[in-house]
Amino acid sequence: MQQPVDENAPLFAIAVAAELAEMHPQTLRQYDRLGLVSPSRTAGKSRRYSLRDVMQLREIARLGSEGITLEGIRRILELENINQELARRVRELESALADELLNRPGRRVFAAGTEGEIVSLKNGTRSQRRTEIMVWRP
């Protein structure tokens, strides 16, 4: 059974990453100096690019071809990274909340009353439904 590839694992040397990103290795070095992409470093200080880094390099090339400046690209990538981090944090908090609600003894259940008010119910009970009939005539 194959294990999924970690997109953040530093796998590629600069020559391979440049080929995958369809760029010159010197361009990758320049983007590293500008902080657009920050590859990992080996003990010998050589760059190692992850699959995520390669995808980011391709995104930089796409944005550049649309006429966006390198500073604009840097800001876009920064905002996208913040957005991804916030989305990850929201998923984490939603999971923690769901776990808390399921594991907390004596949790409360609520329903909406006939007038839209909130009605607290005991576990295992249902709200009472009104069964009378109203006839409307114009």
At residue 25 the predicted structure's pLDDT band, cuts being 50, 70 and 90, is: very high
What pLDDT is recorded for position 14?
A: 94
Average pLDDT over residues 106-128: 70
What pLDDT is recorded for position 26?
A: 96
Average pLDDT over residues 44-52: 93
Average pLDDT over residues 15-40: 94
Res. 130: pLDDT tops 70: no
Virtual torsion, Cα 44, 47, 51, 54, nearest 10 deg: -170
Res. 137: pLDDT tops 90: no
Q: How much is the mean pLDDT over the chain? A: 86
Answer with the residue of higher pLDDT: 98 or 77. 77
Look up residue 7 and give its amino acid: E
pTM tops 0.85, yes or no: no
The full set of domains in the chain, from first to last, is 14-100 (1.10.1660.10)
Bridge partners (DSSP) listed for residue 41: 47
User: Is the Cβ–Cβ distance between 70 and 78 less than 8 Å?
Assistant: no
Chain position carrying tokens 């796409």: 62
User: Is the Cβ–Cβ distance between 37 and 51 less than 8 Å?
Assistant: no
| Per-residue pLDDT tens digits for 73-94 | 999 999 998 999 999 999 999 9
Query: What are the CA-CA distances from residue 43 to residues 8, 30, 46, 63, 83 (Å)?
Result: 18, 21, 8, 33, 32
What pLDDT is recorded for position 135?
A: 73
